[in-house]
């Protein structure tokens, strides 16, 4: 029997992406698509075959097994509390539960998160699935990682665990993202005229994902510079590290291939380098390695809306509901129904 889910915040990019994946999922049934705010009338669907979005009615969550919170930052706390009270498994795609330290969270996102989030942060599992699988499987609430932290952490974590990186030197993360990472709410920087045939750095030195990456990697030696690509989806991360003494690119590749052997969604290249088009509309993270001077360069690519958001959320929900982790995520994508 299929497990029933609800998507709250169903009209945003991540909500629509969860819906796209769920429609092709053999074991999930979308029972409710709702807005994220009470009393807000949803927009009519864009196309005839799009299902209508309902007003937010929390009591309807009694009818579902799992809830995806595709809400703006600061809105997830009371929704998560209500869903958990009704016995649902919850995956939150906002940043409300990612940072363990309340002071760091407030410094990063401001004093906008309702008090309900602070208490739930203690029970939330940070769902970088390949590094938290057992914890996710037993979780009631999962904080889905951010897109940049996913692209940066998956290549770096095995190397840090094996002491292959010299942390007396900074790790440089030079990352490029499609404009969908900024969300659906219009902003001057994401207007077509500002993105088309343009390329720029943004939020240099104060991007909100930096504390999340420092927390996940266990070091503040990461220097992160994000850029906005004139494309809709995808992240390409170029990571510069100084290897520990005696470590070369071959040893780095061997470490990554050993750590991710058997992992369905991480592909470590023996030759060639990742590109956005190879991961578009998939839940894969592709990783390649090169030597440049006295540095090792790791290049990773993900679809920011899939492995960086909705796909990883479904991967986590699959585990939480006792389903095959890969269900709905390895079949060919339904491109006509995809966001962009």
Strand-strand pairing, 285-292 and 266-268: parallel
In the residue annotation, 147 being an active-site residue is answered as: yes
DSSP character at residue 310: I
Sign of CA dihedral 103, 107, 113, 117: negative
As a whole number of angstroms, the distance between CA 209 and CA 122 comes to: 20
**Token output for 170:** 């900074």
- Tokens 């990461």 appear where? 222
Strand partners, 296: 241, 291
Given strand 89-92, what is the order of strands in its sheet?
28-34, 3-8, 66-69, 89-92, 141-143, 125-126
Instruction: Give how far Cα 117 sits from Cα of 9, 111, 172, 255, 258, Å.
Output: 17, 11, 32, 37, 37
Give me the DSSP letters along 163-225.
T-B-TTSPEEEEEEE-GGGG-SS--GGGSHHHHTT--EE-STTT-TTHHHHHHHHT-S-EEEE
CA dihedral in degrees (148, 150, 152, 153; nearest 10)?
A: 140
Half-sphere exposure of 251 (CA within 13 A, CB side): 12
SS3 (DSSP) at 290: strand
Active-site hit among 70, 88, 147, 175: 147
Active-site amino acid positions: 147
């Amino acid at each position: 029997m299929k497990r029933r889910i609800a998507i709250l915040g169903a009209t945003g990019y991540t909500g629509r992406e969860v819906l796209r994946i769920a429609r092709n999922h053999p074991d999930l049934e979308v029972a409710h698509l709702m807005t994220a705010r009470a009393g807000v009338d949803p927009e009519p669907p864009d196309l005839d075959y799009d299902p209508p979005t309902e007003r937010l009615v929390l009591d309807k969550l009694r009818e579902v097994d799992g809830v995806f919170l595709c809400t703006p930052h600061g809105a997830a706390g009371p929704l998560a509390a209500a869903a958990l009270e009704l016995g649902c498994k919850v995956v939150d795609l906002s940043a409300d539960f990612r940072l363990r330290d309340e002071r760091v969270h407030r410094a990063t996102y401001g004093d906008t998160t309702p008090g309900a989030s602070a208490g739930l942060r203690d029970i939330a599992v940070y769902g970088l699935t390949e590094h938290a699988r057992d914890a996710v499987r037993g979780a009631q609430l999962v904080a889905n990682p951010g897109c940049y932290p996913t692209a940066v952490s998956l290549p770096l974590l095995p190397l840090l665990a094996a002491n292959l990186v010299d942390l007396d030197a900074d790790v440089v993360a030079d990352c490029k993202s499609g404009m969908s990472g900024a969300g659906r709410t219009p902003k001057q920087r994401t207007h077509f005229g500002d993105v088309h045939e343009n390329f720029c750095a943004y939020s240099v030195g104060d991007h909100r994902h930096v504390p999340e990456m420092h927390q996940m990697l266990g070091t503040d030696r990461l220097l992160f510079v994000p850029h906005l690509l004139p494309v809709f989806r995808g992240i390409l991360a170029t990571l510069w590290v100084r290897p520990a003494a005696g470590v070369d690119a071959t040893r780095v590749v061997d470490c990554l291939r050993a750590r991710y052997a058997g992992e369905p969604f991480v592909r470590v290249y023996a030759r060639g380098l990742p590109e956005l088009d190879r991961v578009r509309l998939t839940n894969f993270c592709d990783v390649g390695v090169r030597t440049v001077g006295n540095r090792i360069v790791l290049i990773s690519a993900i679809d920011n809306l899939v492995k960086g958001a909705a796909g990883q959320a479904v991967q986590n929900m699959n585990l939480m509901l006792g389903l095959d982790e890969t269900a709905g995520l390895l079949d060919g994508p339904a491109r006509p129904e995809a966001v962009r």
